[in-house]
Chains A and B, each alone.
Chain A
């Protein structure tokens, strides 16, 4: 039977000291709800190599941005902005000079001028020379060498800088070269780094360590290395003088075969490119011996003038590819002549 004391036990109505005392004693043991302390998930910890890779990529991206920005500035030039530099004469202080489009610079027999080619290189005008600045703007800087000698050092993409010799254009492909022009128009190109292209009635590409003679009538001759023998130069001159109209097994070709070795590869490949019919003779096998590049090219295609037939030999030449002008980055480190002149004044 449910009594008054039971009511307190049931729903706390009424009183019951016994139950109340037990509640007071036991209530400290009651469950105290507390919020769950869930640990925040630890951030994913990348392996060390992953963290290093991210750092390297970030650094590379930053460096790339800096390099591209510097390159953009270097290759940009306001149309017609004069080239600055100085002229030095033995015994006299250097004098500042500025050359704008249409201006002609003449150096005395004992004077040398050094000019900034915009921001892409330097042009040294040697004593007794006459040079005209024809054009200067972004991607197109041209001078004419009327007579005398100049030395150019350029670090820029191909075709940014060139020198006119009248009907023949000397086009820089990212390099350093010296060009001498005689009063009669004959010119000699000597390349020290990179490549230079001779563009005229015929074309020629001249790599570092090679020389090419430009005839005022016939244009560029076949390039040859600096140390080529006199007999080889004479044979090449004879072939070029006749525009290649020599027998494929004639004395000139036999002389070329006898006087060339592996270091004359540019001469051999240039000959076959300029005068394809010479592939009918011993020059073809001789070139393959000097420049092994896998399978021998198809002789018939070479004779037919297929320029692609010689691609393997061109690729096998022991020089940096002409398009990789940036490999000659050291040419970009020379100080600006104009800056040097202002510093020394």
Chain B
């Protein structure tokens, strides 16, 4: 049986009919992961995963070969972006500075996955500390696009996106701070979903930018990405930024009536010179499909949209400079300087922090600058004020529309090495995805055709705060409608 193209529902049917067992499914996926030449995995947890598969098999048999009702992810082989902690397993964040770090606890979202029956195959490659848009910034090598090995997978959750496309795991968890789930989803041709800020606990997700980070889900179908989101969602006492007023997700509640749906493309996103023609066409074709199904297309404006990139990078780099100050070789991670070889504490810190890669160092430097005395008002405070204006623009827009639409990225996947020389060029690639993180909105990348070279194109949807279930329901209705 070919397990690679099964959905979660089909996998469960196979388990119940006896045409597949958890052990053979996990072994098949592990074999795909072992022989992969995409650079997708940092660590495989083979022994652990096979033990979990054996235990799953026992539970299945004891339950009369019925999937236990409290295990919606029973026997589902999954990967975790390697900035998510799994107790007893290396968590590197694709950085030399955490190359030896064994997580002493498990992230809340991962605990919830395992309680729901998921089987963790291993840890997936990423841009170092989630900083990047191409997965070329990993200390352990780039991730290649499964559709074309000379091209990038997108980042920073490159491994999480590519592994699902390549059949190395069925679903995966990534993280999204400025587009890091949605962009690789678009480049690789899978569904990538970023929840409303706070709906998934960040406890156990190694922090990059605390007011922007959110764990996201990847699947071949919207239903699979949605099911994983339901399992991991909900308030968590271990995360003080958890959205405790928004309940655990339940995607069964929402039905879409297209005749009542209003959608819009922010006019500030129209007529961008840098957009590849096929990407522009994909957005237009999605609008046509929406209209055919009965939705109303409404003009909408986000006046401060053009400042999103500057706001994002100032805020993200500032928060990152603070979050990454903990990596000093004292309490965990690699201590490359011994206590005796350092002249003093300053020297000790500097020697240990040499292990960061170039992009991480750049962002720490800019963030430190933006927060420093004499500049914090002009840069950080100013960025936070403009962030408020952008938020207000979106609140007004969502009075006129239910969903916003745009490309995910200006182009399809570019060649490895093509954008490495100019960091600013890479940052400008995030223009469509960044606003969702600034305002904390749910957002999704839905595969929508290919360009003339066969490279996947994703279309980007945004909904208002807390409207994750509606967004997923909409995407589910549209899935497969591309002609």
A and B interact: no
